[in-house]
Copies of this chain bind each other. A is one copy, B any other.
């Protein structure tokens, strides 16, 4: 019911959406989110570092909390690490619940928590050199919504 995957390999967003929706029993609503590497400002590559062991643990804790709060029928969190090109799919989440509002809120919650509570760090490679992406104060502030 809770599916957490941290991987270097690409994933097939459409296939994951189809499989996730097909596996739900009693859900009236499925919400999926997919994050894509943007090629803004000449970005050449996005490097994603993570903390093996803690990453899976943190994502599982976040997904458990979402499932508990919104009585979800299923949760998927899939996040890549390694070096990604513009246009590549970085990560996805999927949620399912009997009512629509639960599936939407849970997906939004997962994204907010994943962003500042799961140990991933992004490094952007541009013609002028590499730089680590700085966390935004607004990312931390977003958690106060929940």
Residue numbers of A with Cβ under 8 A of B are: 12-19, 21, 24, 26-38, 40, 89, 98, 100, 103-104, 107-108, 111
Contact = CB atoms under 8 A, between A and B. Distances in A.
B13 A17 contact: yes
A29 B18 contact: no
Nearest to A92: B30
Contacts of A32: 17, 30-32
Contacts of A100: 33, 35, 111
A36 B31 contact: no
B14 A19 contact: yes
Nearest to A33: B31
Contacts of A26: 38, 40
23 contacts: A12-B18, A13-B17, A13-B21, A14-B14, A14-B17, A14-B21, A17-B17, A17-B18, A17-B34, A21-B36, A21-B89, A24-B36, A26-B38, A27-B38, A28-B38, A30-B33, A30-B36, A31-B32, A31-B33, A35-B100, A40-B98, A100-B111, A104-B107
Given A17-B32, A30-B36, A108 B104 contact: yes
A117 to B, nearest CB: 16
A24 B36 CA distance: 10
Contact of A29 (B17, B35, B98): B35
A15 B14 CA distance: 6
